[in-house]
Amino acid sequence: MKKRTENSSKRLQGKPPAATPRAETRTIHIEFFMSGAESVGIAGTFNDWRPERAPMLSDGHNRWIKDLSLTPGVYEYCLVVNGYKWMPDPHARETAPNPFGGRNSVLKV
């Protein structure tokens, strides 16, 4: 016979188990200016380095914008222009070396 624990008896009494606390997300606004860009995406540790998961929107005047919803933490990212040119965000306050000899932007949320 299975022994009833305090948690199982609470569930049997109609009380739901305690919810796991969720980290709240914050909206991070990123802007980038580049003439001649046809597409810009953001690739980073928050999206497995897949720029197609965070495409930036053009305003039609060389300005690209994206709002990211991120949980608190430290992230590295690059802007990917026209699908092949990886570059750090020129507006980032901090960068870090990457294993390919370039630099990643650092974002602290």
CATH architecture of 21-108: Sandwich (2.60)
Write out pLDDT tens, residues 2-22.
444 444 444 445 555 565 667
Q: How far is C-alpha 72 from the geometric centre of its chain's CA atoms?
A: 10
Residue 41: pLDDT band with limits 50, 70, 90: very high
Q: What is the pLDDT of residue 2?
A: 46
Domain residue spans in the chain?
21-108
Residues 96/104, Cβ–Cβ less than 8 Å: yes
Q: What is the pLDDT of residue 23?
A: 77
Write out pLDDT tens, residues 63-80.
999 999 999 999 999 999
